[in-house]
Amino acid sequence: MPVFPALWPGLARLALLSTCLAAGGCVLDGASVRDAAKSAGFGPKEVAAPDFVAQSRRGGGDFLPVGESAPPRETRAKSAAGVKALEADLDASRQRNEVKGRDAAKVGGAVKPPAPPKVPPAE
C-alpha cells in the first residue's frame, strides 16, 4: 500500500508527460514520423497540378545557389530622356489630380449637411 495514495495520479501524469517529452525530443522536426505515416498510407495524397497551372509555370523555379549571379534581365533600364519624359508625364498627371481635388472641395463646401432625423419621444 502506497504511503501517499493521493500523490500517485499526479506522479503517473508526470511520468507520462516526461516520457512523451523525451520521445518527442528524439524527433527533431517530425519529418521521419511524417514520412513513415505517408508511406503507410496515412496523410494527404499527392495531387498533380492541373494542366493550365503546369503550363503557366516557368521552368527552373528553384532558388539560385549561393555565390551564383542571377541571369541578365531581358528589359533594359530607361535612358535619361525616357526618365525625363516619364517624370513630365507624372507631373502633368499630378497637376490634373490637384485641379480635380480643388474643384471637388469647392463643390463639397457648398453642400449643406442634411438635417438630423426627428425621433418621436419615448412613451
Q: Which residues make Cβ contacts (< 8 Å) with residue 43, sequence separation at least 6?
A: 34, 37
pLDDT tens digits, residue range 2-54? Answer: 555 555 566 677 776 677 666 655 555 667 777 877 888 887 778 888 999 88
Q: What is the pLDDT of residue 13?
A: 75
Nearest to 43 by CA among 32, 51, 34: 34
pLDDT tens digits, residue range 80-106? Answer: 999 999 999 999 999 999 999 999 988
Look-up: residue for cell 449637411? 113
Distance of alpha carbon 37 from alpha carbon 30, whole angstroms = 11
Helix (H) or strand (E) segment spanning residue 77: none
In the Cβ-directed half-sphere of 37, how many Cα atoms lie within 13 Å? 9
